[in-house]
């Protein structure tokens, strides 16, 4: 199931993020802030367990997150969302998945994967600023499931209807949280109106 965050702050910050005139430093800051806002909602359903805690005045029962949190940025643009995620859950474990798109077949080609070990009931958050075709996201989820990890959530800043459909058809139980569902993909499979190439704008490359 997909969830579009319609909070006014999300829409305001996305508007600045989209602007071609937004400088690189501000783009990075906004990407991190938007990630926090979207991830906050995405983590609403995490399970907790009760724990005793002593305040300065009395003892009480608090709670802590039950599951190991694992953040999986898809290289390279997903790295631009990592600081935002870690601002919310600084104790989270982090893994990395590298994918590039074959220019002829337009299919994702994996080239790198590094995941944490010794996980306890992990909840994986796959992050990528742009959910465009959805193929890289699906390939990443496929790889996680092959390792018997099946509690997975996807977080993106902007998504296309086509990409959401691709992920939902392949993995209908995986929730998708996004800041905007845009109009469509163009002939080059870029999101319209989108914001251009997120990796280039994050890291100053072309």
Active site residue 200: yes
Of 68, 93, 101, 175, catalytic: 101
Of 68, 83, 175, 197, catalytic: 197
CA distance 53 to 62: 6
Of 19, 142, 150, 200, catalytic: 200
Active site residue 101: yes
Of 49, 60, 105, 205, catalytic: 105
103 in Cβ contact with 81 (< 8 Å): no
Three-state SS sequence of 40-55:
HHHCCCCCEEEEEEEC
Instruction: Find, among 126, 124, 175, the residue nearest to 151 by Cα.
Output: 124
Q: Which residues are catalytic?
A: 101, 105, 197, 200
């Amino acid at each position: 199931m997909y969830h579009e965050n319609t909070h006014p702050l999300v829409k305001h910050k996305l508007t600045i993020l989209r602007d071609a005139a937004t400088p690189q430093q501000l783009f990075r800051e906004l990407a991190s802030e938007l990630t926090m806002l979207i991830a906050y909602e995405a983590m609403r359903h995490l399970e907790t367990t009760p724990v005793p805690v002593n305040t300065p005045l009395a003892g009480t029962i608090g709670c802590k997150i039950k599951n190991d949190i694992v953040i999986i940025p898809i290289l390279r643009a997903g790295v631009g969302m990592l600081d935002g995620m870690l601002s919310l859950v600084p104790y989270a474990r982090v893994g990395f998945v590298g994918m590039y798109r074959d220019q002829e077949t337009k299919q994702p080609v994996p080239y790198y994967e590094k995941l944490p070990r010794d996980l306890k009931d992990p909840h994986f958050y796959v992050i990528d600023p742009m959910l465009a075709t959805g193929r890289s996201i699906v390939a990443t989820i496929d790889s996680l499931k092959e390792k018997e990890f099946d509690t997975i959530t996807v977080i993106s800043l902007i998504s296309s209807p086509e990409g959401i459909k691709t992920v939902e058809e392949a993995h209908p139980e995986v929730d998708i949280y996004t800041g905007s569902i845009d109009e469509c993909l163009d002939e080059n499979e870029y999101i319209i109106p989108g914001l251009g190439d997120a990796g280039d704008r994050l890291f100053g490359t072309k």
